[in-house]
Amino acid sequence: MMFVFGTRPEFIKLYPVIMEAQRRQHDVTIVNTGQHREMLDQLLDEMGVTVDFDLKVMTHQQSLAEILARTLGPLDEVVDRVRPDHLFVHGDTSTTLAGSLISLYRQVPLSHVEAGLRTYNKFSPFPEEMNRQITGVLADYHFTPTEVTRANLEREGKNPERIFVVGNTAIDMLKYTIKDDFRHPVLDEAGDRKLILITVHRRENISELSQIFAAINDVAIKYGDTHRLVYPIHMNPVVRQAADQYLTADAIRIIEPLGTTDFHNMLAHSYLVMTDSGGIQEEAPSLGKPVLVLRDTTERPEGVDAGTLRLVGTGRDDIVREACRLLDDEVEYRRMAAIANPYGDGTTAPQIMDVMAGLSTRS
Ligand code: UD1
Ligand code: UDP
């Protein structure tokens, strides 16, 4: 079994599957395309994972075409050398797309983990919506989180016998990371102040960063006496430059990207989350944390339906209004903070490996 990942969220959500495959003594090959560098190396170290191949493709401010072009050749060589029986990709990144294409060219059966998420808007999220749609076309097996995402795949004509509703491995991962006795200097410094956790990085939001950050700064000025805003910032230099320019309020702490254990526990200790991240929209409902989603669309309607996620867009006034509403209205806050976990019971990885066992019995 070959596992291909290249970014932080792919690793976090493939890790439980890799662990389960190794526990069952499958012959596992781990390939890191290196689309991310520091942000991923930090997590590999934290979880004690050694990769078999590192394709080292990252360049600064890389274009989408560059990532794909730099990944395809080296990944093809690795697949040709190892000749896996099965290839796993996760989600919707450039690495996911490259892995899917190589599985086609080398005719290796492809499993897509976290399949079926859709907005059906080609440019939102961009380019992820089309990465996952293309991967869906190429995949032989679709491991999909919920009935909503299964319905998307069935509507698109995927073979129902090859769609498996298994929940999301993000929940499996929380079992590895959440600790009762978590401590962190940022929490110590915040003291009694409530924590607002922020992440912003999406490509389609780059042109909106001034609006988003100005809004966050407004919130920080208004609630600074009683709240601390913590932003573990993405490594993208464009995001960093905008953050330095706009996030100037005293109550904001911009810190380096956190390890997964630190981030998940920081999430568990936060009062409110403001983010454009995909994965955090799965983790936060499971931990009962209201999320203002700084995007116009979401492929995770389960959290919106459950009431934990609210899509607020990227406009300064909209973001400030919705943040104030939640921070001022205790009843509304409590309604949103109800714990709702639409993504399974943390047994997604074993379920995936059970399916794999069934396939090899049949063949
Ligand atoms: C990528 C994924 C996105 C995912 C995100 C997770 C694509 C098209 N996008 O977006 O779906 O949500 O990862 O975080 O695949 N950089 C570093 N060090 C790192 C990582 C990034 O310096 O460890 C900088 C580099 O300058 C790099 C830039 O960030 O060029 C952007 O990285 P890239 O992978 O292209 O895009 P992300 O926004 O991270
Ligand atoms: N995350 C992390 N450290 C951080 C910020 C996020 O480990 O400083 C984790 C987070 O818990 C989630 C994943 O990274 O599992 C989300 O990654 P990101 O927001 O970069 O990508 P997306 O989910 O939007 O594709």
Alpha-carbon distance of 305 to 307, in angstroms, equals 5
**pLDDT score, position 105:** 98
Pair of tokens at residue 324: 């104030």
Alpha-carbon distance of 204 to 163, in angstroms, equals 30
Alpha-carbon distance of 306 to 329, in angstroms, equals 19
Catalytic (active site) residue 234: yes
Q: Ligand 1 pocket, 361 CB below 6 A?
A: no
Cα 363–chain centre separation:
33
Cα 336–chain centre separation:
21
Alpha-carbon distance of 253 to 274, in angstroms, equals 14
**pLDDT score, position 115:** 98
**pLDDT score, position 362:** 57
Q: Ligand 1 pocket, 128 CB below 6 A?
A: yes
**Which bound ligand lies closest to the C-alpha atom of 235?**
1
Q: Ligand 1 pocket, 130 CB below 6 A?
A: no
- Kindly report, residue by residue over 228-252, the tens digit of the pLDDT: 999 999 999 999 999 999 999 999 9
Are 303 and 327 in contact by the 8 Å Cβ rule? The answer is no
Exposure of 37 by Cβ count < 10 A (0-12 exposed, 13-18 middle, 19+ buried)? Answer: middle
Identified catalytic residue from 54, 92, 172, 204: 92
Say which amino acid occupies 266. M
Catalytic (active site) residue 128: yes
Helix (H, G, I), strand (E, B) or coil at 274: strand
Q: Ligand 1 pocket, 235 CB below 6 A?
A: yes
Tokens 């939102």 found at: 124
For residue 31, what are the contacts with CB-CB under 8 A and spacing of at least 6? 2, 3, 4, 5, 51, 52, 53, 55, 75, 78
**pLDDT score, position 247:** 98
* Model pTM score: 0.97
Q: Please report the sign of the dihedral spanned by the C-alpha atoms of residue 121, residue 124, residue 126, residue 131.
A: negative
Helix (H, G, I), strand (E, B) or coil at 229: strand
Cα 241–chain centre separation:
23
**pLDDT < 70 regions, the chain:** 361-363
Pair of tokens at residue 262: 């630190």
C-alpha dihedral (336, 340, 343, 345), degrees to nearest 10: 150
Catalytic (active site) residue 256: no
**Residues facing 273 on adjacent strands:** 197, 291
